[in-house]
């Protein structure tokens, strides 16, 4: 779909959060925005005479009734957020003032804006592509510094630039293949070296694969880095979760099997969101319900990116079996109850269970001692934060965080892989051309170059009104 601007209608909405406050902002956008607001504004000079990027003090008046003293900012098309004439009215945050001003604007010719309509107009007027438009909503919804940084990178065109480069290289291949098809009767003409085209397609495939892989990072930043706390019963897993969260989130008891299901909660550390999962204690049991909890715990550990392997420093036991299948995870071995050891050092991991297995499973992993009961967990928090900063450095790589982008990239990946295979098998240009077009279409879905109205409506309906 080619972007086509919305015309003739002027919209208005409250752009600040709902409710009373010190200041509220009413936004108006459209070809009649300045003229409509001017009918209600009384200042030193008419707003219709105002220059772009100027702020004006005055009163909102209707039929000689003064509603409020306001500051009015004027932005003229096309150099505004929406690409249209835009007026922003900063008034006092009284609900009565906000609602009355909206009513007066509607009476003067405005329409109430739909959710995300201002940003949608910016997209349709070519002020931003769809990835940048979605980043606006992500910035508003950001709960952590990492989320904000990721969204800001996308708003600045990080994804757009990467996809533009991909499309340019794809168009190079497509053009040469199309030329071959157009001049198929002239066998003496050669427009492209197939081996060079094959190498270029492989490079594109690699780039798309990297973007697909980055979704795991982007999703972890938005949803929280999953951290599973595993260990034998009564080693202090629930106590540790409570200490991390700073509240009694999980039930703590000396009775084995108290935690029979996973308990989850989130915590922000150093601008990163972590999602902690307290699991049932790993042990052999005949209790059906407890066994179900243990199975869920193993599944949670498989999904986690970080494993906190909690051990009782006072009672070394063979708990290595619970680490089977998790060797590829970031594992931190934590010896709890260190406060009970006095002057003694925590038991060395090598004496737990089979030494050979211990060396393989524990040898190069981080090991620290804590007292979850006393809240002495600063070292553990620092280890988690160090890992997050190392693993999720967003400064040098484009990262995908949207499921919509991820699904489109999977389609592009499949299409370019068919192109790569087709070039290797010397397939005719007709087949290659179709796959290349599929790849281009999938990438175009991400930026909005090829997007249905239904998709657009679904995206912008998730925005807040006033943005």
Q: Taking 90 as the threshold, does the pLDDT of residue 288 lie above it?
A: no
Q: Taking 80 as the threshold, does the pLDDT of residue 275 lie above it?
A: yes
Better-predicted residue by pLDDT, 254 or 134: 134
Question: Residue 256: what pLDDT?
Answer: 46
Rounded to whole angstroms, the Cα distance separating 105 from 115 reads 18
pLDDT per residue over 196-238, tens digit each? Answer: 788 888 888 999 999 998 898 888 888 888 898 888 777 788 8
Would you place residue 292 in the very low, low, confident or very high pLDDT band (cuts 50, 70, 90)?
A: low
**Lowest-pLDDT choice from 192-201, 235-244, 379-388, 405-414:** 192-201
Better-predicted residue by pLDDT, 435 or 91: 91
pLDDT per residue over 95-104, tens digit each? Answer: 999 999 999 9
Q: By the 8 A CB rule, do 12 and 112 touch?
A: yes
Question: Residue 76: what pLDDT?
Answer: 96
**Lowest-pLDDT choice from 26-30, 271-275, 290-294, 453-457:** 290-294
Rounded to whole angstroms, the Cα distance separating 141 from 152 reads 12
Would you place residue 258 in the very low, low, confident or very high pLDDT band (cuts 50, 70, 90)?
A: very low
Q: Choose from 64-73, 368-377, 432-441 the range with maximum mean pLDDT.
A: 64-73
Would you place residue 68 in the very low, low, confident or very high pLDDT band (cuts 50, 70, 90)?
A: very high
Mean pLDDT of 44-71: 95
Mean pLDDT of 67-96: 96
**Lowest-pLDDT choice from 29-43, 158-172, 198-212, 271-285:** 271-285
Q: By the 8 A CB rule, do 433 and 116 touch?
A: no
Mean pLDDT of 2-17: 77
Q: What is the mean pLDDT of the chain?
A: 81
Tally of CB atoms within 10 A around 295: 11
Question: Residue 255: what pLDDT?
Answer: 41
Q: Choose from 36-40, 127-131, 212-216, 400-404 the range with maximum mean pLDDT.
A: 36-40
Would you place residue 352 in the very low, low, confident or very high pLDDT band (cuts 50, 70, 90)?
A: very low
Q: By the 8 A CB rule, do 413 and 208 touch?
A: yes
Mean pLDDT of 70-91: 96
Better-predicted residue by pLDDT, 118 or 393: 118
Helix (H, G, I), strand (E, B) or coil at 310: strand
Q: Taking 80 as the threshold, does the pLDDT of residue 396 lie above it?
A: no
Rounded to whole angstroms, the Cα distance separating 33 from 104 reads 13
Question: Residue 393: what pLDDT?
Answer: 67
Would you place residue 87 in the very low, low, confident or very high pLDDT band (cuts 50, 70, 90)?
A: very high
Question: Residue 448: what pLDDT?
Answer: 86
**Lowest-pLDDT choice from 59-63, 73-77, 240-244, 404-408:** 240-244
Mean pLDDT of 278-307: 67
Q: By the 8 A CB rule, do 101 and 91 touch?
A: yes
Q: By the 8 A CB rule, do 167 and 440 touch?
A: yes
User: Peptide bond before 78: cis, by omega within 30 degrees of 0?
Assistant: yes
Question: Residue 201: what pLDDT?
Answer: 84
- Please, which residues have CB within 8 angstroms of residue 93's CB and are 6 or more apart in sequence? 16, 19, 20, 21, 22, 23, 24
Torsion of CA 336, 339, 342, 346, to 10 degrees: 20
Question: Residue 15: what pLDDT?
Answer: 94
- Please, which residues have CB within 8 angstroms of residue 442's CB and are 6 or more apart in sequence? 408, 409, 411, 412, 415
Question: Residue 358: what pLDDT?
Answer: 40
Domains observed in the chain: 11-128 (3.30.1360.120), 140-220+402-447 (1.20.120.430), 228-391 (3.40.50.300)
Question: Residue 151: what pLDDT?
Answer: 87
Q: Taking 90 as the threshold, does the pLDDT of residue 349 lie above it?
A: no
Question: Residue 253: what pLDDT?
Answer: 42
Distances (CA, A) of 182 to 178, 179, 190, 298: 6, 5, 12, 58
φ, ψ for residue 90, nearest 5 deg: -95, 110
Distances (CA, A) of 46 to 35, 36, 39, 42: 9, 11, 9, 8
The proportion of the chain whose per-residue pLDDT surpasses 90, expressed as a percent, equals 30
Mean pLDDT of 158-177: 84
Mean pLDDT of 235-248: 80
Would you place residue 298 in the very low, low, confident or very high pLDDT band (cuts 50, 70, 90)?
A: confident
The proportion of the chain whose per-residue pLDDT surpasses 70, expressed as a percent, equals 79
Q: Distance from CA of residue 104 to its chain's centroid? A: 38
Better-predicted residue by pLDDT, 317 or 32: 32
Question: Residue 62: what pLDDT?
Answer: 95
Rounded to whole angstroms, the Cα distance separating 135 from 119 reads 10
């Amino acid at each position: 779909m080619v972007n086509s601007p919305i015309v003739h209608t002027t919209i208005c909405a409250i752009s600040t959060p709902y409710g009373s406050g010190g200041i509220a902002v009413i936004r108006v956008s459209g070809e009649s925005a300045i003229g409509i607001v001017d009918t209600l504004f009384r200042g030193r000079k008419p707003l219709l005479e105002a220059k772009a990027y100027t702020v004006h003090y005055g009163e909102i008046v209707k039929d000689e009734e003064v509603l409020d003293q306001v500051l009015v900012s004027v932005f003229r098309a096309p150099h505004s957020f929406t690409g249209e004439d835009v007026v922003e009215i900063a008034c006092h945050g009284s609900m009565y003032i906000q609602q009355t001003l909206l009513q007066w604007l509607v009476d003067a010719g405005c329409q109430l804006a739909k959710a995300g309509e201002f940003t949608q107009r910016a997209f349709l007027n070519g002020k931003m592509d769809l990835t940048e438009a979605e980043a606006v909503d992500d910035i508003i919804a950001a709960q952590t510094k990492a989320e904000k940084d990721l969204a800001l990178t996308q708003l600045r065109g990080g994804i757009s630039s990467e996809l533009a480069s991909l499309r340019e290289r794809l168009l190079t291949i497509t053009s040469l293949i199309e030329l071959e098809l157009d001049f198929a009767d002239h066998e003496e003409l050669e427009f492209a070296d197939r081996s060079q085209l094959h190498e270029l397609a492989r490079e594109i495939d690699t780039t798309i694969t990297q973007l697909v892989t980055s979704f795991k990072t982007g999703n972890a930043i938005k949803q929280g880095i999953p951290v599973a706390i595993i260990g034998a019963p009564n080693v202090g897993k629930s106590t540790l979760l409570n200490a991390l969260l700073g509240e009694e989130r999980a039930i703590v008891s000396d009775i084995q099997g108290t935690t029979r299901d996973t308990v989850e909660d989130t915590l922000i550390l150093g601008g990163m969101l972590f999602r902690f999962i307290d699991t049932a204690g790993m042990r052999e049991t005949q209790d059906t319900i407890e066994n179900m909890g243990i199975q869920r715990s193993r599944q949670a550990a498989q999904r986690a990116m970080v494993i906190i392997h909690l051990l009782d420093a006072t009672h070394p036991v063979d708990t290595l079996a619970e680490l089977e299948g998790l060797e590829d995870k970031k594992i931190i071995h934590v010896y709890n109850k260190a406060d009970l050891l006095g002057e003694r050092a925590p038991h060395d991991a090598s004496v737990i269970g089979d030494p050979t297995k211990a060396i393989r499973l524990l040898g190069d992993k981080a090991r620290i001692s804590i007292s979850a009961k006393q809240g002495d967990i600063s070292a553990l928090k620092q280890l988690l934060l160090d890992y997050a900063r190392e693993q999720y450095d967003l400064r040098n790589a484009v990262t995908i965080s949207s499921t919509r982008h991820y699904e489109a990239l999977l389609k592009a990946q499949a299409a370019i892989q068919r192109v790569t295979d087709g070039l290797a098998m010397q397939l005719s240009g007709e087949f290659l051309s179709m796959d290349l077009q599929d790849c281009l279409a999938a990438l175009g879905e991400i930026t909005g170059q090829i997007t249905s109205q239904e998709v657009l409506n679904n995206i912008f309906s998730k925005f807040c009104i006033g943005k």
